[in-house]
Amino acid sequence: MFTKPGDTAQLLWNGELTTRGRLYRLGLGLAGGPVLWLGLFLLAPSVVLIALAFAQRGAYGQIEWTATLDNFVRLAGLGGDRWTGDYLLILWRSVWMAIVTTALSLLLSYPLAFFIASRTPRTRYLLLSLVMVPFCTNMVIRTYAWQLLLSRQLPIARLAAMLGFIDAESSLYPSAFAVYLGMVSTFLPFAILPLYTNVERLDWSIVEAAHDLYASRWRVFRHAILPQTIPGLSAAIILTFIPAMGTFVVPDLLGGANYMLVGSLIQQQFGASRNLPFGAAASFALMAMTLAVLFLLRRHGKEAAREG
Amino acid sequence: MEGVGVGSSPRRAVGALTQGGGELEVRGVCKSFGEVQVLRDVSFTVRQGEFVTLLGPSGCGKTTLLRIIAGLEKADSGQVLLSGSPLCGLPANKRPVNTVFQSYALFPHLSVYENVAFGLRSRGMVNGEVDRRVLPSLDMLQLGSFARRYPHQLSGGQKQRVALARALVNEPEVLLLDEPMSALDAKLRAEVQIEIRRLQRRLGKTFILVTHDQDEAMTVSDRVLVMREGRIEQGGEPTEVYEHPVNRFVAEFLGLANLIGARAEDGVLATELGRLMTHQQPTWQRGTLAIRPERVRVWGDEKPPHNAVHVMIRELIFRGDHTDLFVEPGNLRVRVPATAGVRAGQHVWLELPAEHLQVLAD
């Protein structure tokens, strides 16, 4: 077998006498599995999906491998005789709903993370388990449970009716309120957990230093607490925003036809409509938008950190 | 709304208090964390411009005491008075007292300049004025060229100087230092100790330092308060505490000491080394005497007239500027000049001078 001059030279690696060649083989052995996994189940499907976005639907729902921009043209609303903003509205609504869901989740979980972290270890784990409990039930079941809870005979809807938010004898769903309720309750744990791990390891001496240096409550928060929770916040944003962008069960069940999101659109195209290429194009748009928003957030975050 | 209110009141409080003499008095402070009593009726006074060290092993309550003075912890009972007026009602952000934290606790997202300016900005100072006070402070601690750097770009010693500048720029009545040198390596620490001492002298401010390092305590302070289990065991000038420790704990914590068990018999003290005379009269029947290794005198073949002990040099440890001898009987440590010319196995006469033989309380 051909070996390079360096391959057989003895070298010390973490206290072990070995050769460069042996190290390479060890590295390949360790990294090989994950690389193969990602290649087969992430990279390859993505390539197929992107290729599919430029294909066409045949008359019977089969795929015709052509190179066309038709799917994207249709997505932009330019497919028919006149321009229509339907699909763009769906895309925009998805982004907006994901942003609002993320913002609400952060707003709720930020103080909650501090509350949990300030309890005794026993209570802390109890509370964390309570946060995790929803994970253990199926999302569809949970969403149906919300439907029940918000239906017109039950106290929540009655209270809303009494306060004049809805007409008497009507239920609270389908509505934007119900969708956000369902979305936030689904994604809240994803925001709490990274924030909690961050808050638990907060350096409180910096907070004390701010107090010691005459800071008002706002200044203490702004300079001693917020900068320290940036890592937790960005993790929470990523973990809620990405799944919120692609979700379709919750808005479908709680929002009705008026709240169609890109997730539902994709599901419909791959399912009932059997228009795989158009579904792929919508998926492609979803991916691009998600990456764009995350990129903007990241750049903004870096600038904010630099400004101090 | 709230920001304005909180922002303006500390300035008033600080202004009002800075006109006093700056004498700090701690009166009967007690503190418990759950079942554990951390401070038991601690009282002491620090004069204006004095450098006082709270010295003790970890867990003796020294840091808690400092935090109570800073307003970061609340005493269960007792009072802290500055220039005669009680501080206890005031939260940390309204006390004319600043702290240098053990971990420095610099704001990681702020530059050195902004870290130092933080306290001034909290009190609503305008940019020009901030500049006029921050720049001299940075220069005073040789940080002028680091103003635009961030904490993560600084060495331990530089961070420590930033923490000092950040506290001192507010011109506090009292500066509290919580083991500020524990993160520095030995050589740098020795330099910084002398620097801090000089800085304190120059500014004439009251400094209170917490440390478990007896060398540090003796290097920097006008007065050392030795603490154990929530009490002050002994307080006094470094020489006083070193030369005349009151009990075994102080004798052993501050420097090295030979402890000799003794029995009082008709005005003399009987020990395993023979009968010894002291300048002080013991109040006990059975107790302990202490003598510093460098106070033991080596006579050689000649027998000293008083407190003579004949010993064999068991071990000899060369320490550069001096040599430590371990002798039998009594397992005494004797410190002699490196050039003393003694050797292991030699039999010599020692004198334990009566004036240096300390009668301990326990």
Q: Give B70-103 pLDDT, tens digit per residue.
A: 999 999 999 999 988 888 788 888 888 999 999 9
Q: Which of A217, A223, A305 sits opposite B107 (nearest CB)?
A: A223
Is it the case that residue A208 has pLDDT exceeding 80?
A: yes
**pLDDT for A271:** 87
Q: Quick check: A82 contacting B, CB < 8 Å? A: no
Q: Which of A208, A216, A227 sits opposite B105 (nearest CB)?
A: A208
Is it the case that residue B19 has pLDDT exceeding 50?
A: no
| Nearest chain A CA: its distance from B200 CA (Å) | 20
Is it the case that residue B6 has pLDDT exceeding 60?
A: no
Is it the case that residue A149 has pLDDT exceeding 90?
A: no
Is it the case that residue B106 has pLDDT exceeding 90?
A: yes
What angle, rounded to 10 degrees, do the helices at B156-168 and B112-122 form?
20
Burial class, B241, CB count within 10 angstroms (exposed 0-12 / middle 13-18 / buried 19+): buried
Q: Which residue of B has its CA nearest to A206?
A: B105
Looking at beta carbons, which residues of chain A come within 8 Å of B105? 203, 205-206, 208-209
pLDDT tens track for B143-173:
999 999 999 999 988 999 999 999 999 999 8
pLDDT tens track for A39-63:
999 999 999 999 999 998 888 878 8
Confidence of residue B132 (pLDDT cuts 50, 70, 90): very high
Q: Which of B70, B72, B122 sits opposite A216 (nearest CB)?
A: B122
pLDDT tens track for B187-243:
888 888 998 999 999 988 999 999 999 989 999 999 999 999 999 999 999 999 999
Looking at beta carbons, which residues of chain B come within 8 Å of A210? 107, 118, 122
Instruction: Answer yes or no: do A210 and B118 touch at CB < 8 A.
Output: yes
Is it the case that residue A253 has pLDDT exceeding 90?
A: no
Q: Which residues of B touch A (CB under 8 A)?
A: 2-3, 6-7, 10-11, 14, 70-72, 91-94, 97-99, 101-103, 105-111, 114, 118-119, 122-123, 166-167, 170
Is it the case that residue B20 has pLDDT exceeding 60?
A: no
Residue pairs between chains A and B whose CB atoms are closer than 8 Å? 85
pLDDT tens track for A116-125:
999 999 999 9
Burial class, A300, CB count within 10 angstroms (exposed 0-12 / middle 13-18 / buried 19+): exposed
**pLDDT for A3:** 52
Q: Residue B224: beta bridge partners?
A: B53, B236
Number of Cβ within 10 Å of residue A21's Cβ equals 15
| Nearest chain A CA: its distance from B93 CA (Å) | 4
How far apart (Å, rounded) are the C-alpha atoms in residues B144 and B105? 20
Is it the case that residue B43 has pLDDT exceeding 80?
A: yes
Q: What is the mean pLDDT of residues B116-120?
A: 95
How far apart (Å, rounded) are the C-alpha atoms in residues A90 and A92? 6
**pLDDT for B39:** 94
How far apart (Å, rounded) are the C-alpha atoms in residues B338 and A218? 61
ipTM over 0.90: no
| Nearest chain A CA: its distance from B12 CA (Å) | 12
Task: Flag the least confident range among A179-183, B95-99, B199-203, B327-331.
Answer: B327-331
User: A154 or B60: whose pLDDT is higher?
Assistant: B60
Q: Distance of CA B244 to CAs B220, B239, B356, Å? A: 19, 8, 8
Q: What is the mean pLDDT of residues B95-112?
A: 93
Instruction: Answer yes or no: do A211 and B91 touch at CB < 8 A.
Output: yes
Confidence of residue A106 (pLDDT cuts 50, 70, 90): very high
Question: pLDDT over 90 for what percent of chain A?
Answer: 37
**pLDDT for B9:** 39
List strands edge to edge, sheet with B274-276. B274-276, B268-271, B258-265, B286-291, B358-359
**pLDDT for A4:** 57
Is it the case that residue A251 has pLDDT exceeding 90?
A: no
Residues with Cβ within 8 Å of residue B69, at least 6 apart in sequence: B24, B26, B80, B87, B97, B174, B176, B208
Token pair of B306 as six digits: 């008083």
Instruction: Write phi, then psi, for B227 (nearest 5 degrees).
Output: -115, 145
Q: What is the mean pLDDT of residues A246-272?
A: 84
**pLDDT for B14:** 42
Q: What is the mean pLDDT of residues A255-263?
A: 80
How far apart (Å, rounded) are the C-alpha atoms in residues A236 and A109? 9
Domains and CATH numbers, chain A: 1-48 (no CATH), 83-307 (1.10.3720.10)
Give the mutation candidate from A201, A202, A213 for the B interface (greatest B CB count, under 10 A): A213
Q: Quick check: A60 contacting B, CB < 8 Å? A: no
Q: Which of B6, B110, B167 sits opposite A216 (nearest CB)?
A: B6
How far apart (Å, rounded) are the C-alpha atoms in residues A164 and A149? 18
Q: Which of A212, A217, A308 sits opposite B109 (nearest CB)?
A: A308
**pLDDT for A305:** 60
Number of Cβ within 10 Å of residue B110's Cβ equals 18
Q: What is the mean pLDDT of chain B?
A: 88
Q: Please report where in the chains the tokens 């699909």 appear, as a residue.
A: A87
Q: Residue B328: beta bridge partners?
A: B312
Instruction: Answer yes or no: do B109 and A305 touch at CB < 8 A.
Output: yes
Please name which of B294, B299, B302, B334 lies closest in space to residue B315, comparing C-alpha atoms. B334
Instruction: Answer yes or no: do A219 and B108 touch at CB < 8 A.
Output: no
Per the rule left: phi > 0, alpha: psi between -120 and 50, beta: everything else, A81 is alpha
| Nearest chain A CA: its distance from B321 CA (Å) | 40
| Nearest chain A CA: its distance from B176 CA (Å) | 11
Q: Quick check: A216 contacting B, CB < 8 Å? A: yes
Instruction: Answer yes or no: do B108 and A227 touch at CB < 8 A.
Output: yes
Token pair of A227 as six digits: 């900068």
Residues with Cβ within 8 Å of residue B335, at least 6 apart in sequence: B292, B293, B294, B296, B322, B323, B324, B325
How far apart (Å, rounded) are the C-alpha atoms in residues B353 and B306? 8
Number of Cβ within 10 Å of residue A171's Cβ equals 20
How far apart (Å, rounded) are the C-alpha atoms in residues A189 and A212? 35
Confidence of residue B11 (pLDDT cuts 50, 70, 90): very low
Q: What is the mean pLDDT of residues A19-23?
A: 85
Q: Is the pTM of this model over 0.90?
A: no
How far apart (Å, rounded) are the C-alpha atoms in residues B314 and B327? 5
Strand boundaries in chain B, DSSP class E: 24-33, 36-46, 51-55, 77-82, 85-86, 97-100, 174-178, 206-211, 223-228, 231-236, 258-265, 268-271, 274-276, 286-291, 297-300, 308-318, 322-328, 332-337, 347-351, 358-359
Instruction: Answer yes or no: do B122 and A214 touch at CB < 8 A.
Output: yes
| Nearest chain A CA: its distance from B96 CA (Å) | 9
Task: Kindly report each contact of residues B86-89 with a partner whose C-beta sits within 8 Å and lies 24 or more positions away, as own/partner.
Answer: none
